[in-house]
């Protein structure tokens, strides 16, 4: 299942700054993993380790258990798609020639390449007949980055790296491309590593989010996990309380968040539960014994009691605050 893994990776630049500090993490296959963090946190450096645009000072990066430092960097890069923030299309080549770049480098047949170019352009909804022979500067920013994505996908790589690919675009194109990427990923199921500093973008498109700070990984989790549980204040602050409250699914809320609704007295049979369990889990317990109350405990102390009717009330309140 695992495709890319970092083992004790450290990167120290010549000036002494530590961009990455002893990072060990695995990035799952066929999922879109977003690396996010404030600028200077090492997120781009971490991503560039994968195609060896950066090399670790110590530690090792593996793709499918093979250490990538033993591979030829040029071959490695040809097997990994790469999309950059500044798009980086070659202005003197046509759209077709740009997309065909890697297939040509690895020696595909002409007909094969040209079919592939048409297929990719159609996939990102650019009519090949119109755009194939145009030059990058004749296209809008959004269209250029669509071509950038096509170029990265051209030779059908298993892994695609995207370095803040949409951050230079206007908000409308950005949102459109995020949606398109989301749909595209459902179809192609590649292992995508996506660097961004935009939390909304991350929550929208990611299967997994890696939050970084000062060269270290603070938390790795799915978007819904990260919204319902943050390891520390930094993560909480970085995501922002508004998003945490606004985007969380009701079922993922923790019981302790509903504290204001708890009863303090009991008139029925109770079952002790931890305050950190989610509403979903609580409903699951109550489904079997609908008549009882849950005794919500935190560190051995009883916070209060709640049953079905409390959860119903909480759900009503929740939908009311949901802007």
Partner 1 sequence: MNKFITTIADRSDLIIEALFQHIYLSFVSLLIGVLIALPLGMFIARYRKYAESIIGITAVFQTIPSLALFGFLVPLIGIGSKTALIALIIYALLPILRNTYTGLTSVDGSIIEAGKGMGMTENQILVKIELPLALPFIMAGIRTATVLTVGIATLATFVGAGGLGDVIYRGLQTYNNSLVLAGALPVAILAILFDVILKIVEKRVTPKGLKV
Which residues would be at the binding site for partner 1 (CB under 8 A)? 51, 53, 74-79, 82, 84-94, 101-102, 105, 135-138, 151, 161
The candidate with the shortest Cα–Cα distance to 100, out of 149, 146, 155, is 155
Distance of alpha carbon 80 from alpha carbon 94, whole angstroms = 22
Nearer to partner 1, 89 or 235 (CB): 89
Nearer to partner 1, 93 or 261 (CB): 93
Shortest approach of partner 1 to residue 164 CB, angstroms? 12
Helix axis angle for 110-123 and 141-153, nearest 10°, is: 130
Question: Token pair of 122, please?
Answer: 């159609």
Residue 36 belongs to what H/E stretch?
strand 32-36
Distances (CA, A) of 144 to 89, 101, 183, 196, 308: 8, 15, 19, 19, 53
Residue 212 and residue 218 in contact, taking contact as beta carbons nearer than 8 Å = yes
The candidate with the shortest Cα–Cα distance to 145, out of 118, 128, 170, is 170
Residue 299, sorted as left (phi over 0), alpha (psi -120 to 50) or beta, turns out to be left
Nearer to partner 1, 145 or 178 (CB): 145
Nearer to partner 1, 144 or 228 (CB): 144
Shortest approach of partner 1 to residue 272 CB, angstroms? 55
Nearer to partner 1, 131 or 238 (CB): 131
Nearer to partner 1, 76 or 292 (CB): 76
Shortest approach of partner 1 to residue 144 CB, angstroms? 12
Shortest approach of partner 1 to residue 137 CB, angstroms? 5
Nearer to partner 1, 192 or 209 (CB): 192
Shortest approach of partner 1 to residue 14 CB, angstroms? 15
Q: What is the β-pairing status of strands 208-213 and 32-36?
A: parallel
The candidate with the shortest Cα–Cα distance to 229, out of 221, 218, 237, 217, is 221
Shortest approach of partner 1 to residue 116 CB, angstroms? 15
Residue 33 and residue 193 in contact, taking contact as beta carbons nearer than 8 Å = yes
Shortest approach of partner 1 to residue 160 CB, angstroms? 11
The DSSP string of 170-234 is: -HHHHHHHHHHHHHHHHHH--EEEEEES-HHHHHHH-SEEEEEETTEEEEEE-HHHHHH--SSHH
What residue has token string 């009863």? 263
Shortest approach of partner 1 to residue 42 CB, angstroms? 18
Nearer to partner 1, 91 or 290 (CB): 91
Nearer to partner 1, 1 or 74 (CB): 74
Question: Token pair of 13, please?
Answer: 């630049």
Shortest approach of partner 1 to residue 113 CB, angstroms? 14
């Amino acid at each position: 299942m695992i495709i890319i893994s970092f083992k004790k990776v450290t990167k120290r630049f010549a000036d002494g700054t530590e961009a990455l500090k002893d990072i060990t993490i695995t990035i799952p296959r066929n999922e879109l993993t977003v690396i996010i963090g404030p600028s200077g946190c090492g997120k781009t450096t971490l991503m560039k380790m994968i195609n060896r645009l950066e090399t670790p000072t110590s530690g090792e990066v593996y793709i499918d258990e093979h250490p990538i430092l033993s591979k030829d960097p040029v071959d490695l890069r040809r097997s990994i798609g790469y999309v950059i923030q500044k798009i980086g299309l070659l202005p003197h080549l046509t759209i077709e020639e740009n997309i065909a770049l890697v297939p040509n480098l690895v020696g595909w047949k002409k007909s094969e390449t040209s079919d592939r170019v048409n297929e990719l352009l159609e996939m990102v909804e650019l009519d090949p007949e119109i755009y194939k022979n145009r030059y990058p500067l004749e296209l809008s920013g959004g269209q250029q980055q669509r071509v950038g994505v096509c170029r990265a996908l051209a030779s059908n790589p298993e892994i695609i790296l995207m370095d803040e690919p949409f951050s230079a675009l206007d908000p409308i194109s950005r949102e459109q491309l995020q949606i398109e990427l989301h749909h595209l990923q459902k179809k192609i199921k590649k292992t995508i590593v996506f660097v961004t500093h935009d939390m909304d973008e991350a929550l929208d498109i990611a299967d997994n989010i890696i939050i970084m700070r000062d060269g270290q990984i603070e938390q790795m989790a799915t978007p819904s996990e990260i919204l319902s549980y943050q390891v520390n204040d930094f993560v909480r602050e970085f995501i922002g309380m508004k998003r945490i409250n606004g985007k969380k699914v009701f079922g993922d809320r923790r019981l302790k968040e509903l504290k204001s609704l708890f009863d303090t007295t009991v008139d029925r049979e109770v079952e002790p539960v931890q305050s950190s369990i989610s509403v979903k889990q609580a409903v699951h317990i109550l489904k079997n014994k609908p008549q009882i109350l849950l005794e919500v405990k935190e560190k051995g102390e009883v916070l209060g009691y709640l049953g079905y009717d409390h959860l119903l009330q909480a759900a009503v309140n929740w939908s009311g605050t949901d802007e």
